[in-house]
Amino acid sequence: MQYCPPPLLVSLHSHATLEFKINDFSLLCDPWIDGLAFFGAWRHYPQPQISSKDLSPNAIFISHEHSDHFHPQTLSNFAKDTPIYIPQFVNQRLEKRLDLLGFTNIISLPFGQSVQINKDIQITLYEPISLWNDSQILIDIAGFKILNINDAGINHSIASKVGSIDCVCAAFSPGASGYPATFTHLSLDEKICFYQKSRVSLLDMLLEACKMYNARYFLPFASHFVLNHPKHLKYMKMLRKNTIFDCVEKIENPDIKVIDLLPGDSWDVGSDEIIKIPRTQDLYTQEHIEEYIQNQFRQDEFLSFYPNKHKYRFDRKKCLQYFENLNFVPEISLCENLSVSVYPDFENTNAFSFVVDNGVKILDSLIENPNLSIKIPSEILMYIVVHNESWDEATIGYWCEFSRNPDVYHAEFWRLLQAPFYLKHSSIGKYESTLITPSTPLCFILENLGEVGSKILARYGLYCLSCSKLPMESLQNAIQAHGISTVRSQRLLKELNIHFISKSLETKSLMH
């Protein structure tokens, strides 16, 4: 019997906002349609052809908390009882933020668990290969399988789980990071060379992903933005992003069709027709982009997304307390040793230093040549402090300047700042006895850590609750069966113990 594709309409409304519509049911992914992102640093390019008020999704998926995916101003225009599907992260930050926005139907999904959201659509969330708080989603629409990788990177370990895919959707250009543009220890030539290599490498990776999943279609998206503020034009000039035309040229393969949508375009899967709106020929020329940035920038619009300097006046005591409180974030036990100096408003006047060595310790004097220096507008720093905002909003927004000495990336330190959440008890200094070992039964871990244990295991690709072998397997059995590397398994073990110790201490305090 010949395969008949479903009557599915895929619309790219903006940057990473895809809408999948079938039989009058609409699933909207990562809606950022209105306004700016990252404290006013990012603007849509090309512009969306609609506003969020024009949409009435039946369900929404949000992959992670970055403001180009979780955008409060856009979300505020949707019905508060709309089902919103999110990944089940241990920190529960997405749940809390959606609750504050007034949403009442928040569904937190474990990685690897399939859910039927209506008669035509089944979704399954998967973890990225990295340990950042991000996710990708497999959408099965009447048998047509779409893997929305987004900007989460390619996780080779899930290929055997998802099988062949009809369409892969993924980000296609570098630029969603302040690195290397905002790092002052690198020369301009080094930065430009990095971006050139990154552009080529990303396209190579996308072609590999399409082949790995036997995809018949590739839809490039999640890279449709420019830097909004004219002061960031210097970064745009060195960045030179990939375009969808680069994707078409790279994936010149008779077995893979590039669905080259721009915001406002749609793809009728049933007829395999791409519906495009007219575009200017110089859409991607540097001159046109720079002119667009200059013409579109509005100070009043920008200030509505940027922290008010009077409202978020620098408070040294609150800042130092914020960094000391990082000792109560579970990931502090995983953090590398390093020295850090922070320069509010890029000046020495209010600068301060701390070291991370078995916890954060504030210093009395400024380290002039630390492992990491961070220069940041004081109003953004205070916004982060007051609202426990992710530092990614500042770094991806190109608002900071950094210098590293030596040039070493402290991944665990940045994971600490990405999405901090706090446990009542810290395990710092109490880590001599490891309570969970590789030989610990999985049942013991799940019985004692409950949902938190399940979330942590799933984050590393261990979907233990759905496994029939759960009652008879140890942690080591699961690690070996799923091919988890030694480095990742050691980190998993340590993360489990952080939460185990914290829960044990909390139980003891309740007993007394």
pLDDT at 353: 99
More confident call, 133 vs 122:
122
**Over the chain, what is the mean pLDDT?**
91
The answer to whether residue 311 sits within a structural domain is: no
- The domain boundary residue, chosen from 300, 334, 354: 300
* Confidence band for 155, pLDDT divided at 50, 70 and 90: confident
- Structural domain including 221 reads 9-300
The answer to whether residue 500 sits within a structural domain is: yes
Strand order in the sheet with 338-344: 360-362, 352-356, 338-344, 372-376, 401-404
**CA angle in degrees (0–180, nearest 5) for 163-166-169:** 100
Same domain, 110 and 191: yes
Q: DSSP labels for 37-48?
A: BTTTTEEESSPP
pLDDT at 451: 84
Phi-psi group of 38: left, alpha or beta (phi > 0 → left; psi -120 to 50 → alpha; rest → beta): left
Percent of the chain with pLDDT over 90: 73
More confident call, 182 vs 501:
182
Same domain, 169 and 275: yes
pLDDT at 4: 84
In this predicted model, what pLDDT tens digit does every residue of 467-507 receive, in sequence order?
656 666 888 888 887 788 888 888 888 888 888 877 766 65
* Confidence band for 213, pLDDT divided at 50, 70 and 90: very high
Q: Which two tokens stand for residue 361?
A: 């310790």
List the CATH number of the domain containing 382: 3.30.1050.10
* Confidence band for 440, pLDDT divided at 50, 70 and 90: confident
pLDDT at 450: 82
* Confidence band for 241, pLDDT divided at 50, 70 and 90: very high
Same domain, 387 and 240: no
Lowest-confidence pick of 212-226, 280-294, 489-503: 489-503
Torsional sign, CA 60, 63, 65, 69: negative
pLDDT at 373: 98
Q: pTM surpassing 0.75? A: yes
- The domain boundary residue, chosen from 260, 275, 300: 300
Q: Which two tokens stand for residue 51?
A: 């506003």
In this predicted model, what pLDDT tens digit does every residue of 16-41 receive, in sequence order?
999 999 999 999 999 999 999 999 99
Residue range 371-392: mean pLDDT, rounded: 98
> Directed axis angle between helix 378-387 and helix 316-325, to 10°?
50
Q: How many CB atoms lie within 10 A of CB 270?
A: 14
Overall number of domains in the chain? 3
SS3 431: coil
- The domain boundary residue, chosen from 386, 418, 450: 418
pLDDT at 42: 99
44 pLDDT more than 80: yes
**Residue 93 corresponds to which amino acid?**
R
Q: Give residue 103's Cα distance to chain centre.
A: 21
Same domain, 81 and 153: yes
The answer to whether residue 430 sits within a structural domain is: no
512 pLDDT more than 50: no
The answer to whether residue 342 sits within a structural domain is: yes
pLDDT at 426: 47
276 pLDDT more than 80: yes
In this predicted model, what pLDDT tens digit does every residue of 156-174 receive, in sequence order?
888 888 999 999 999 999 9
Lowest-confidence pick of 45-54, 172-181, 457-466: 457-466
d(CA 223, CA 210): 18
Same domain, 208 and 168: yes
The answer to whether residue 380 sits within a structural domain is: yes
Same domain, 376 and 410: yes
Same domain, 409 and 359: yes
SS3 350: coil
pLDDT at 510: 46
Same domain, 97 and 213: yes
Percent of the chain with pLDDT over 70: 93
The answer to whether residue 251 sits within a structural domain is: yes
Nearest to 393 by CA among 381, 402, 407: 381
> Directed axis angle between helix 442-459 and helix 486-511, to 10°?
120
SS3 396: coil
d(CA 171, CA 165): 17
Q: How many CB atoms lie within 10 A of CB 471?
A: 9
389 pLDDT more than 80: yes
Same domain, 14 and 62: yes
* Confidence band for 465, pLDDT divided at 50, 70 and 90: low
Same domain, 141 and 34: yes
Lowest-confidence pick of 183-197, 227-241, 481-495: 481-495
152 pLDDT more than 70: yes
Q: DSSP labels for 398-427?
A: T--EEEESS----HHHHHHHHS----SS--
Measure the N-to-C terminal CA separation of the chain; round to a whole number of Å.
Answer: 69
| Rounded (to 5) percent helix, strand, coil in the chain | 35, 20, 45
In this predicted model, what pLDDT tens digit does every residue of 361-373 receive, in sequence order?
999 999 999 999 9
427 pLDDT more than 60: no
d(CA 224, CA 43): 9
The answer to whether residue 3 sits within a structural domain is: no
d(CA 103, CA 75): 9
The answer to whether residue 4 sits within a structural domain is: no
Same domain, 393 and 496: no
Residue range 300-324: mean pLDDT, rounded: 98
Same domain, 356 and 244: no
pLDDT at 78: 99
